[in-house]
């Protein structure tokens, strides 16, 4: 299972497996909006749930901060939210 952390210095969430970077979800913050711009999983770790774990961790983290809204610019994050409608409340209305 991936160990996921928030690397605020790099503006991304990182997933590591056995210490090796397996994937990351990049974001930008402007005011109370967190825009997820890119999610990438190393090909060696594809199909192991790394991307889903990253999305869940990142969105749970945003929710825990209170008052923030998400702009899912990244197609992976947008698709993940579509498949998990209990996270739709985080999406900023445009």
Higher pLDDT, 27 or 1: 27
Q: How far apart are CA 27 and CA 8, in angstroms?
A: 10
> What is the total count of domains within the chain?
1
State the pTM of this model.
Answer: 0.94
Q: What is the CATH number of the domain that holds 53?
A: 3.40.630.30
* Cα 90 to Cα 58: distance, rounded to the nearest angstrom: 11
pLDDT of the residue at 94: 64
For the segment 50-73, the average pLDDT, to the nearest whole number, is 96
* Structural domain boundaries enclosing 52: 3-90
Cα distances from 5 to residues 2, 23, 65, 75, 85, in angstroms, run: 10, 11, 15, 21, 24
| pLDDT mean across residues, the chain | 96
Q: Is residue 38 over pLDDT 70?
A: yes
* pLDDT of 86 higher than 90: yes
């Amino acid at each position: 299972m991936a160990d996921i952390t928030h690397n605020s210095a790099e503006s991304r969430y990182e997933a590591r497996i056995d210490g090796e970077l397996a994937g990351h979800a990049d974001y930008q913050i402007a005011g109370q909006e967190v825009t997820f711009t890119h999610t990438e999983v190393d090909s060696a770790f594809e199909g192991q749930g790394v991307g889903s774990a990253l999305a869940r961790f990142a969105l749970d983290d945003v929710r825990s901060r209170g008052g923030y809204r998400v702009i899912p610019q990244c197609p992976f994050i947008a698709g993940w939210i579509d498949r998990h409608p209990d996270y739709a409340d985080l999406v900023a209305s445009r």
